[in-house]
Structures are given as C-alpha cells and as structure tokens.
Amino acid sequence: MKVIGIVGSPRKNGNTELLTAHTLRAISEEGLDTELIRLAGLEIKPCNACMVCREEESCPIDDDLFPIYLKMKEAEGIVLASPVYFGSATAQIKALLDRVGYISLAHGKPFSGKVGGALVVARRAGKNFTLAQLTYWFQILGFFIPGSTYWNVAFGREKGDVEHDEEGLRTAWNFGKNMAFLIKKLSG
Ligand SMILES: Cc1cc2nc3c(=O)[nH]c(=O)nc-3n(C[C@H](O)[C@H](O)[C@H](O)COP(=O)(O)O)c2cc1C
C-alpha cells in the first residue's frame, strides 16, 4: 500500500515540502510505503482542452505530467500540498489537477475509493480557501477524505518557518495517522 505526497510549491525544500514530508513520516510509521513528488523543477503545462483524453487515456502535451498520473493511479492514497499564492493554490498544482482529473473521468474513474486529502501553507491569508479548493478535487473524483485535529493548514513564510508551527505540524501528523488508518481499513 502506497501514499504519494505531491508538493505544489516551485520552491524545493520549502515549507510545503517540509509539511508534506512530516505527514508522510506519520504514514510510513504505520507500515505504508510513501513517496514525495515535487513539482518544483518539473514542467506541468495547463490543459489546452484538446479533448484527446476523452478518447484515449493519455495527454498529447509533452511534459512531465503523465508519469505522475500513472503513479497517482497506482497509489492507495494521495496527499496534495500547496502554498497559498494570491489566495489560491499554485498554478503548477492546478494544472496537474485539471489534467489528471480530466483524463481520469473518461477512463474508469480510477481514483474512486482511494483516500486523499490536502495540506496548505501560507504566511498569513488564504489557507482555508486553498484547502477547500484542493478538497473539491478529491470530492468530485470519489476519494474518501480523512479528518485531523484541525484544518490541514500551517504557517510559514521563509523556508523552514513551518517547523515552528507546532499546531500545524501536529495537525499534519494526525492527518497522516488518520489517512493510514483509513487505507488499512478499506484494504480489509
Ligand atoms: C507569488 C506568491 C504569492 C503568495 N501569496 C500569498 C497569499 O496570498 N497569502 C499568504 O498568506 N502567503 C502568500 N505567499 C507566501 C507563501 O504562501 C509562503 O511563503 C509559503 O510558506 C511558501 O511555501 P513554500 O516554502 O513551500 O514555497 C505568497 C508567496 C508567493 C511567492
């Protein structure tokens, strides 16, 4: 059983990555495999509405998306993490979700019944909106979404700041524990 954490920040080793790694550690402690995928340094272009994916399970845009789509299909659980950029998720993760979501809808809804949830980091404002924005994606695709002990949001501006947000870290950790619990339950 595997959980992948997708980090939508363009900044390597930033707060979103630290928070995601923290959640994945909580999951791996429960015996599940984990993998962190950074969108930083990858090329993920926006959907161009060519509609090829309605006919075949592929995307003709030549970039780094499709291998990530395949990993998402194979995983039992998916964590989507983003910093807040102007009150919303980053363009990189939005492009990924539009395309992965659209391919999947026409090809057997492979995410239905998987477990997923979002993590969000910001300096100040836009966290709950962004958490909702990412959560909508899980909902429309049929994921089960575990809770935590607060909303999955944390504070940070400079790299590493999030490590001082004790409640944010605890929330991300407890979310990971609930995610592992639910995945194990669902697998019987
Ligand atoms: C282009 C840009 C837009 C941002 N917009 C917001 C915002 O709307 N609200 C906020 O609280 N922080 C905002 N921030 C701050 C980031 O959310 C914050 O620095 C976060 O910790 C970055 O995560 P990272 O270290 O994973 O890249 C913005 C940062 C950038 C670069």
Give residue 129 CA to ligand 1 midpoint distance, Å: 14
pTM above 0.85, yes or no: yes
Please give the pLDDT value at position 10: 98
Q: Is 137 in the pocket of ligand 1 (CB under 6 A)?
A: no
At residue 165, the pLDDT reads 98
Query: β-strands 77-83, 115-122: how paired?
Result: parallel
The closest-lying atom of ligand 1 relative to the alpha carbon of residue 126 is 9
- Rounded to the nearest whole angstrom, what is the distance from the C-alpha of residue 122 to the centroid of ligand 1? 5
Report, as an integer, the average pLDDT of 48-55: 98
Residue whose CA is at the smallest distance from ligand 1 atom 1: 85
101 three-state secondary structure: helix
pLDDT value for 133 = 98
Model confidence over 88-106: pLDDT tens digits?
A: 999 999 999 999 999 999 9
Structure tokens at 85: 């950029």
In this predicted structure, what is the pLDDT of residue 151?
98
Q: What pLDDT shows up at residue 25?
A: 98
- For ligand 1, atom 17, name the residue with the nearest CA: 122
- pLDDT tier, 47 (very low <50, low <70, confident <90, very high otherwise): very high
Distances from the Cα of 121 to the Cα of 67, 84, 108, 145, 180, angstroms:
26, 6, 33, 19, 22
| Structural domains of the chain, with CATH | 2-187 (3.40.50.360)
pLDDT digits (tens, 9 = 90+) for 56-82: 999 999 999 999 999 999 999 999 999
Ligand 1 within 6 A of CB of 84: yes
Q: What is the mean pLDDT of residues 28-54?
A: 98
Confidence of residue 161 (pLDDT cuts 50, 70, 90): very high
Q: What is the pLDDT of residue 95?
A: 98
